[in-house]
Amino acid sequence: MTSYGRGLRGLSVATIATITVALALVFFYAPLDANQGFIQKIFYIHVPLAIVALCGFVVGGLLAIAHLRTGDRKWDLRSYVAIHMALIFGVGGLITGSIWAKASWGHWWVWSDPTLVSFLIVMLLFATYQPLRFSIEDPERQARYASVFAIVAGAFVPLNFIAVRMAQGVVHPRVLTLTGGRLPGSMGLTFAVSLLGIALLYATLWNYEIAAKRARMQLRRLRRAALGDDAAGALGRSAAPS
């Protein structure tokens, strides 16, 4: 018997709980930034979104390696969902980053920030993942090529950050570095909890999407087995692996 969404309830509860705690910390515990004021608090959602998105891309690449090595299509599904979720989180990261940039520095976009620029480049690359999948009709080939792409793009992420950082040269005076080096204690705690919340949200949504897709595929398989090859109907336009 297949079960769908095992452990999903527990994960969802943990996610909601953590995010609630994080929000409480953000609004009631974390100190107000002297320079930027209230708007600085968007950092608690912007940076976790960006970090989780980048990790999601790298994880997508690792899952793609598993797919190519084993030939088992379930890894391709996992890789697809990881990347597609990471893209959504990444767009959120870009938007919140832009809002923060406008509030802090007066511009919607700043080239002097290497992290933001690297992130944009990575997003431009991964935004081509779904168009690539869409444009390959043979399902086996689509899965294989998508995995090749995910591996190349996943390896690209760290390389890109290094190159752009070196290009910008100037160390932009930001409050934080990705390692959270200079955050005072209370901010650090809030940040850590927010990061955990966003990461759990990602994991929960990932599991939900996988469960939904697996259930749909199984339904199609059963319909085909019971009612003949044509009973399942054509799959709608979707980049998702079948």
Partner 1 sequence: MRATFAVLAKDLRLELRTFETLPAMVLFSLSTFVIFHFALGRSAVGGQLAAGILTVTLLFAALLGAGRLFVAEREQGGFDAFLLAPVDRTSLLAAKAAAMFLFLALLEVVAVPAFGVLLLGPALGPRLPGLIAVLALADLALAVIGTLVSAIAIHTRARDMISPIIGLPLLLPALIATARAAAPVLSVHGSGAPPGKWLLILALYDVVFALIAYAVFDFLLED
Partner 2 sequence: MVDQDQQPAIELRGLTRRFGERAALNNVTVQVPTGTTLAVLGRNGAGKSTLLRILATLLRPHGGEVSVLGERLPQRAHVVRSRVGLLGHEPLLYRDLSGRENLHYHAQLHCVAPERVERLIEAVGMGKRADDPVRALSRGMVQRLAVCRAVLHEPAVLLLDEPRANLDPAAVELIEPLIGSGNGHTRVLTSHDPGPAIEDADLVLGLRDGKAAFVRPPGEVGAQQLRELYG
Residue with token string 């970090």: 51
Does residue 125 bind partner 1 (CB under 8 A)? yes
* Closer by beta carbon to partner 2, 214 or else 224: 224
DSSP conformation class of 200 = H
Does position 122 interact with partner 1 (CB under 8 A)? The reply is yes
How far is it, in rounded angstroms, from Cα 9 to Cα 121?
36
Q: Does 232 bind partner 2 (CB under 8 A)?
A: yes
Contacts for 190-193: CB closer than 8 Å, 24+ residues apart: 190/22, 190/25, 190/26, 190/29, 190/30, 190/44, 191/43, 191/44, 191/47, 191/48, 193/18, 193/21, 193/22, 193/25
How many residues line the site for partner 2 (CB under 8 A)? 9
151 binds partner 1 (CB under 8 A): yes
Give the whole-angstrom CA distance, residue 196 versus residue 55.
13
Residue span 183-222 as binding mask against partner 2, x where in contact by CB under 8 A, dash where not = -------------------------------------xx-
Among 144, 214, 220, 223, binds partner 1 (CB under 8 A): 144
Residues 118-177 within binding reach of partner 2 (CB under 8 A): 138-140
| Residue 177: count of CB within 10 angstroms of its CB | 11
Closer to partner 1 by CB, 101 or 136: give it: 136
Our CB check for partner 2 shows the closer of 101 and 148 to be 148
CA separation for the pair 203, 15 (Å, rounded): 9
What values do phi and psi take at 192, rounded to 5?
-60, -45
Which lies closer to partner 2 via its Cβ, residue 102 or residue 216?
216
Instruction: Note the residues at the interface with partner 1 (CB under 8 A).
Output: 68, 121-122, 124-125, 128, 131-132, 135-138, 140-141, 144-145, 147-149, 151-153, 155-156, 159-160, 162-164, 166-167
Residues that bind partner 2 (CB under 8 A): 138-140, 220-221, 224, 229, 232, 242
